[in-house]
Structure 1
């Protein structure tokens, strides 16, 4: 097993902390934010059967009636040794098979009401808190749990978070064991869907432990706004200093602004300020920035704001915040302006799941997806339809991608408004966020007065908290009344749903953009629609009579200056909503890229007109055996002035490219070489050539990242494909490929982009827990001896080698026999019990006996609860090899660092093909 150096480093750091505490060294000052993703235990519970839910909420003092009486897994003494160990982020839905009884909108995964035994997930983690932390404030922060998360610490109920998308935090200072171990428990309930698309299940974003002094900057209490003036910018910083001491405090506040090179630009100091006991003080700081570098999608320049709180000359808190100086202005006649420069929105809508991993997307994979969008020419991202992971916004700040940050639920009662507020205060400092969205396609209220009133209230609330950004919503139920009339910026969802030009004439002072357009269907690499296979030809066509092709949609928005631009539905395919089909398709068909991020042909249409660099792309591929002599539609996407098409070296004509258009030829299919040549100003600029390939002969592997950080989190996205004997790609290859990995890396997911594929995405070890059936118990109270006899049934189908007895002490001493063979002799009682590997030759199919004898545990008090459960037998079924079929010639493997350094070797093998091994270094 590879050594996880990151975890070893954490253990070493913990040891140093404990040693420091033992010698009485001063506890660390200031703020610490520690990632809490490693070494969680996980098991499935049940929404209605208490036995299958580990007896949760069945005790005399249920978990809400008395403080500290969390029962079942919420009890810190609960034995979670049989549970699976894993690393966050984790999406248990991605691990499940698909089934026609599953939810259409969630990709037919086996979770939800029809699958109660896979709809409740329990998570537990034990972690130390050094004694030196006594006196600090400590909080646990969840970036996102799907969903309805009940959270406990050391048996104390902290609260329930119903939303599957919002960050939430609990101050656990008063509940902790300082100098000892602590247990955090989360029960996630994914029985009920929140949205109409795949949402995953579990703790699918990061968890953090935050430590800070009682005098500190309030969480999300810092807000930065910028104003651009002639020859300078003004950075206004508002913040709250929270005092959780029981006496007033005097503090000094320092703010420093650094440029991207780390040079100090401006600083301010407020000395001898006061804050009352258990109170917060508000401060405002103004910083002038001469000759500022402005943030924009083309040049995402970031400053760093450092904010420091000191008392008695010692630092008690420090925060670093990225600052982008920029202006936003919507004009009802001329569209969007960033820094007074017109910007046409070239955006995509995006859900948050990816092939193989579901919604548990590592940060490096988020970056991979965003860079794939940037490569297409995207400058804007709509979070459809919920707040994103905080890390996504950090990346958009750095990469220069404008973001519509979207609220998940329209409403003006306490919970919806609280969720809206939490989104606003968490995300308001990101320069990438240029617009808030208060809702999407609220058909029942879109066109009536109730909808208008709710929208007005929410919009006014947003503006009261952030006057620097406009408010929008996605409207698809007709553009004529209700919410449409009151929005600050109109969001059109599909121009086929109403008359956009008529609406603009009626509301000429209302800025507007296309929040959703396109919604076209296509299957990557498929050029003949096959209803039986549920494959849709990738030529850009109207998806439905009232909708428009990608080309028609972009032309409509590009030609109208008053429309700020559009967001295509969608950037990537996603699980669920397999419109226009249903089962057995499990993914959508809408993306410009498939669920792996492999480009479809529409990607190249948009890239042609969304980027300034020369682009040329041919479709279809030129493997069309059996179609010889038959007419074949050939399309070219390009931004060149002219394109010439050649088949086997013979010109088929040179045509002029219309702005925002494409070119078409129809020729009889003839195997060989098809070539498109682009010309600008009469000079050859760019060429694409495709060949008719032979049969697959060898595999190819390519990694987007050949060197990983040895941090246990970095990833490499690998593309596996097939080539023929001449080295030409085989675009219709469908070979089954098996993957093996060695070295300090692991495979975390596989995919191929086929929307109707029902193959597994993850291959994980299976654990089967067999309870011991108690058959007889005898106890001699005179000499306190006892005897337990039970049995378990070993399935005849079990062929694995790993059988483990996870034993809980039921005596002060005990001797254990299985099928009359001694497993352990005179074991002393242990709080955490014992674990025995049982040799297979001791066992037999069917019933096996277990006899435990020894000296009984004697109660000290009448109310003591003595353990009588001897534990379970656990069968471990090894995971099947990682494998995936190529689809349209490609598949994807995601490899993640395990924390060690060295060489990772990934081998791809397929019968009849030459195998390949790729080396990735981990440093």
Structure 2
């Protein structure tokens, strides 16, 4: 809790119903009258709906990933049915919260959603990728009364042609603040370096007030270094009108800060405090970083005045086993995998990512192209765009704002005018980064969208690079999406009928290039400042060029689990320059092919490769830094070794060895500990190994898992896009020797989790992970029993005489009967008797 505010998690204790619940048909005068009033929502949206049979779930939650594969479902959504679902969450507010500003924050719901709070229609949202902020202050209930959030999710609505999941798949929060407070996403503090080399932080603090009167407050911000020491402070005074926003502005001057970079991602903290007469009303801390970005139309991109090619990947947001309900710690895992490959950039395709992902890119040093989902200039489109900029503009990892991806109007006046308007909206909120767009054709048209962008992005339009640069010599440009080569992990022959794609980087779709050639097109042109390879990871849906039973893409440099494909080793060789890189493709298990030639590709950043089979020389070849080097090697079981040299001096060795038969299961956790906060999660790698401990790359075996200790299994997968096994449960097969299981700690967990894996005929595998007692984020208490509290009473006119309890009531009387609350019954003005009435339906469990 920061002074003056509480941010409480609402993730736990939701009730979920899969399927739609039709609203009751309204007939009659009184029901029609009531139906038109605020707070009188009916059906599952009403505050007193009977949800006692619903399923208890915690968020983030993706119900689509729990569905079986269905050939009749949309292949773009991974052959998973989506449909409509409902969520409800009960909570209480302490009477001391009365008078505070109370806001519900829903970070992401796929796809369209309608939200009611205490029966009051509070929000409708038309995108699955933006947050929803609801001021519930006017209709909050306090004390013993229950508050209830009801959410209808329509996941039949689609925004993309990839797997989007279904449900409340990001975090949820309740934020309590004083009446005068910092608005949500209300502090902007991006450092700026002036021409004379000095640094300043222009700080904008957006304030909001629900008080009755004008408020005069003091706003103070302090920059804090990575060790927690204050560096510099500044302040100003401003007035805030009732129910209005006010922006306080001032700047901090900073001398010689440590810079944020991809190699040393140094983060600072800005603490902003709002005071009145010395009393703290609100306090908020945000993280930022000092770095400069420059896009030169001839020389490319510069980070902190250092020339740097963007070596990036584009990615969707689903992961093995969990769908789009990705635990925060898996973002770290995915960022680390990309950085280990040599990547320094990331395109969030084609939508704003989770806030926790951007926290990871800030912390670990990965530059981001943040992308808007819906293209247009209507108030709704601009609202979604403005939300993204406000939420994300303090992140030093973000270097570009993208306003669209591959729009049909991109080569027309319409596309140009839309980008103009969207760019203007962005620059009202942030002028420190350029606006771009991912344009897939028509870039040479006399009028096209790229002309309204600061930076031109090209999707697959390699042929136009040179001509566009000639025509637009002052426009920076980059490859915003390229490659589109499809690979099945550890598969070395192509069989389209069996839905198998080889790993030699030659299964290129008609619009794309190989990983090797795509990088050459970028790297050979100084004016092309970088690439965003499609994609870093496989994702569900879009299985082209394959079809059923393939339910996921094969574009990834890594599979859905994050296991590397051959493209991973190609990019390591292309992108890593500070150490030797060496890898052999394929494995060396080719029983039955003795004496037959096997195609061998060696990926390396060295100059020369000498190949040896069982200690005997095979061949020595120079390396093409783009194409790598290939050999034809007659197969003989044993060890195939590559020796890399620069200038005649050996710099690295790598070998692959023919393995024995599968002998055991080996389990390897990503980390040795988990925080016992109920959120922390990590993948555990499942390997089939031989008696020597070598991974058997041809082993597809069933594995059963047993978990003991303070954790749970939340997902399983093996990276095979044709695999239809459930991703929830305790059983899964390996694919080409590998699988992944994801475990998550229990709330208040402490001790040790032990995962035990068995497979018929193999030695069992075990792995243990320490679960460290860790305080969970502050949270709103769960309501374990949805007791029916009768609050919506109506009182008859007062009477001097005791009324007849059997009298016929005029239900349609909307005027003389007045609303009444049990905790605050209105005083009688005349007489001493009255009748109170209400309508309710006993819950199923309470009925005889």
TM range (shorter): 0.7 to 0.9
Which of residues 504, 509, 513 in structure 1 aligns to 2:478? 513
1:33 matched residue in structure 2: 7
In the superposition, relative to structure 1, how do residues 243 and 730 fare at CA in structure 2: closer, same or farther (>3 Å)?
same
Q: Give me the whole-angstrom Cα distance separating, in 1, the residues matched to 2:664 and 2:178.
A: 60
The answer to whether residue 495 in structure 2 is matched with residue 530 in structure 1 is yes
Q: CA deviation at 1:325?
A: 1.4
Q: Give me the whole-angstrom Cα distance separating, in 2, the residues matched to 1:429 and 1:63.
A: 46
Q: CA deviation at 1:55?
A: 4.6
Answer whether contact 2:314 2:536 (CA < 8 A) is retained. Answer: yes
Which of residues 110, 131, 136 in structure 1 aligns to 2:81? 110
1:475 matched residue in structure 2: 439
Which of residues 75, 90, 98 in structure 2 aligns to 1:134? 98
1:455 matched residue in structure 2: 419
2:655 matched residue in structure 1: 689
Q: CA deviation at 1:62?
A: 8.9
Which of residues 66, 85, 108 in structure 2 aligns to 1:144? 108
| 1:159-174 equivalent positions in 2, closer than 5 A | 159-174=123-138
Q: Give me the whole-angstrom Cα distance separating, in 1, the residues matched to 2:224 and 2:191.
A: 15
Q: CA deviation at 1:505?
A: 1.1
Which of residues 186, 189, 200 in structure 2 aligns to 1:224? 189
Answer whether contact 2:487 2:507 (CA < 8 A) is retained. Answer: no
- CA deviation string 1:95-139 (max 9, x = no partner): 00111111111111122xxxxxxx111111111211111111110
Secondary structure, in 3 states, of the residue corresponding to 1:187?
strand
Q: Give me the whole-angstrom Cα distance separating, in 2, the residues matched to 1:402 and 1:62.
A: 55
Moved more, 138-147 or 231-240: 231-240
Q: Give me the whole-angstrom Cα distance separating, in 1, the residues matched to 2:368 and 2:228.
A: 26
Q: CA deviation at 1:442?
A: 0.5
Q: Give me the whole-angstrom Cα distance separating, in 2, the residues matched to 1:63 and 1:413.
A: 33
Secondary structure, in 3 states, of the residue corresponding to 2:75?
coil
Q: CA deviation at 1:655?
A: 2.5
Which of residues 14, 17, 23 in structure 2 aligns to 1:43? 17
Q: CA deviation at 1:666?
A: 0.5
Which of residues 665, 668, 671 in structure 2 aligns to 1:702? 668
Answer whether contact 1:63 1:157 (CA < 8 A) is retained. Answer: no
In the superposition, relative to structure 1, how do residues 29 and 728 fare at CA in structure 2: closer, same or farther (>3 Å)?
closer
Q: Give me the whole-angstrom Cα distance separating, in 2, the residues matched to 1:197 and 1:920.
A: 34
| 1:269-348 equivalent positions in 2, closer than 5 A | 269-270=235-236, 273-348=238-313
Q: Give me the whole-angstrom Cα distance separating, in 2, the residues matched to 1:910 and 1:337.
A: 52
Which of residues 898, 917, 923 in structure 1 aligns to 2:746? 898
2:39 matched residue in structure 1: 68
The answer to whether residue 744 in structure 2 is matched with residue 909 in structure 1 is no
- CA deviation string 1:735-785 (max 9, x = no partner): 01111111111000000000111111113xxxxxxxxxxxxxxxxxxxxxx
Answer whether contact 1:43 1:121 (CA < 8 A) is retained. Answer: yes
Q: CA deviation at 1:719?
A: 0.7
Q: Give me the whole-angstrom Cα distance separating, in 1, the residues matched to 2:664 and 2:23.
A: 51
| 1:586-601 equivalent positions in 2, closer than 5 A | 586-601=551-566
| 1:434-583 equivalent positions in 2, closer than 5 A | 434-443=399-408, 445-481=409-445, 482-496=448-462, 498-541=463-506, 543-583=508-548
Q: Give me the whole-angstrom Cα distance separating, in 1, the residues matched to 2:564 and 2:761.
A: 28
Answer whether contact 1:717 1:894 (CA < 8 A) is retained. Answer: yes
Answer whether contact 1:236 1:285 (CA < 8 A) is retained. Answer: yes
In the superposition, relative to structure 1, how do residues 231 and 594 fare at CA in structure 2: closer, same or farther (>3 Å)?
same
Answer whether contact 1:533 1:756 (CA < 8 A) is retained. Answer: no
Q: CA deviation at 1:312?
A: 2.6
2:396 matched residue in structure 1: 431
Q: Give me the whole-angstrom Cα distance separating, in 2, the residues matched to 1:249 and 1:467.
A: 30
Q: Give me the whole-angstrom Cα distance separating, in 2, the residues matched to 1:276 and 1:413.
A: 29
Answer whether contact 1:231 1:292 (CA < 8 A) is retained. Answer: no
Q: CA deviation at 1:396?
A: 1.0
Greater fraction strand = 1
Answer whether contact 2:441 2:461 (CA < 8 A) is retained. Answer: no
- CA deviation string 1:559-584 (max 9, x = no partner): 11100110000000000000101111
Q: Give me the whole-angstrom Cα distance separating, in 2, the residues matched to 1:729 and 1:558.
A: 35
2:228 matched residue in structure 1: 262
Secondary structure, in 3 states, of the residue corresponding to 2:731?
strand
Which of residues 49, 59, 72 in structure 2 aligns to 1:101? 72
Q: Give me the whole-angstrom Cα distance separating, in 2, the residues matched to 1:304 and 1:693.
A: 52
Moved more, 737-746 or 476-485: 476-485
| 1:877-896 equivalent positions in 2, closer than 5 A | 882-896=730-744
The answer to whether residue 152 in structure 2 is matched with residue 187 in structure 1 is yes
Q: Give me the whole-angstrom Cα distance separating, in 1, the residues matched to 2:15 and 2:198.
A: 53
The answer to whether residue 50 in structure 2 is matched with residue 79 in structure 1 is yes
2:826 matched residue in structure 1: none
Q: Give me the whole-angstrom Cα distance separating, in 1, the residues matched to 2:262 and 2:80.
A: 38
**TM, length-normalised to structure 2:** 0.88
In the superposition, relative to structure 1, how do residues 665 and 43 fare at CA in structure 2: closer, same or farther (>3 Å)?
same
- CA deviation string 1:198-253 (max 9, x = no partner): 00000000001101001111222222232224453111101222222101223222
Which of residues 583, 587, 611 in structure 2 aligns to 1:617? 583
1:868 matched residue in structure 2: none
1:667 matched residue in structure 2: 633
In the superposition, relative to structure 1, how do residues 546 and 156 fare at CA in structure 2: closer, same or farther (>3 Å)?
closer
In the superposition, relative to structure 1, how do residues 341 and 61 fare at CA in structure 2: closer, same or farther (>3 Å)?
farther
Q: Give me the whole-angstrom Cα distance separating, in 2, the residues matched to 1:736 and 1:628.
A: 29
- CA deviation string 1:293-325 (max 9, x = no partner): 121222211110000011132211001011111
2:595 matched residue in structure 1: 629
Q: Give me the whole-angstrom Cα distance separating, in 2, the residues matched to 1:57 and 1:401.
A: 54
Q: CA deviation at 1:463?
A: 2.4
Q: CA deviation at 1:499?
A: 2.2
Q: Give me the whole-angstrom Cα distance separating, in 1, the residues matched to 2:520 and 2:626.
A: 6
- Unmatched segments (≥5 aa) in structure 2: 773-848
Q: Give me the whole-angstrom Cα distance separating, in 2, the residues matched to 1:714 and 1:122.
A: 26
Answer whether contact 2:491 2:501 (CA < 8 A) is retained. Answer: yes
- CA deviation string 1:310-346 (max 9, x = no partner): 1132211001011111222111101111222211100
Secondary structure, in 3 states, of the residue corresponding to 2:411?
coil
1:815 matched residue in structure 2: none
Q: Give me the whole-angstrom Cα distance separating, in 2, the residues matched to 1:296 and 1:495.
A: 30
Q: CA deviation at 1:275?
A: 2.8
Answer whether contact 1:56 1:71 (CA < 8 A) is retained. Answer: no
- CA deviation string 1:123-175 (max 9, x = no partner): 11111211111111110001100011111111111021111000110010121
1:825 matched residue in structure 2: none
Secondary structure, in 3 states, of the residue corresponding to 2:92?
strand
1:845 matched residue in structure 2: none
Secondary structure, in 3 states, of the residue corresponding to 1:222?
strand
Q: CA deviation at 1:429?
A: 1.3
Q: Give me the whole-angstrom Cα distance separating, in 2, the residues matched to 1:728 and 1:396.
A: 34
Q: Give me the whole-angstrom Cα distance separating, in 2, the residues matched to 1:678 and 1:436.
A: 41
2:121 matched residue in structure 1: 157
Secondary structure, in 3 states, of the residue corresponding to 2:138?
helix
Q: CA deviation at 1:530?
A: 1.7
The answer to whether residue 62 in structure 2 is matched with residue 91 in structure 1 is yes
Answer whether contact 1:247 1:278 (CA < 8 A) is retained. Answer: no
Answer whether contact 2:190 2:289 (CA < 8 A) is retained. Answer: no
Secondary structure, in 3 states, of the residue corresponding to 1:254?
strand
- CA deviation string 1:358-409 (max 9, x = no partner): 0000000111111111111111110100111111111111111111111111
Q: Give me the whole-angstrom Cα distance separating, in 2, the residues matched to 1:629 and 1:247.
A: 89
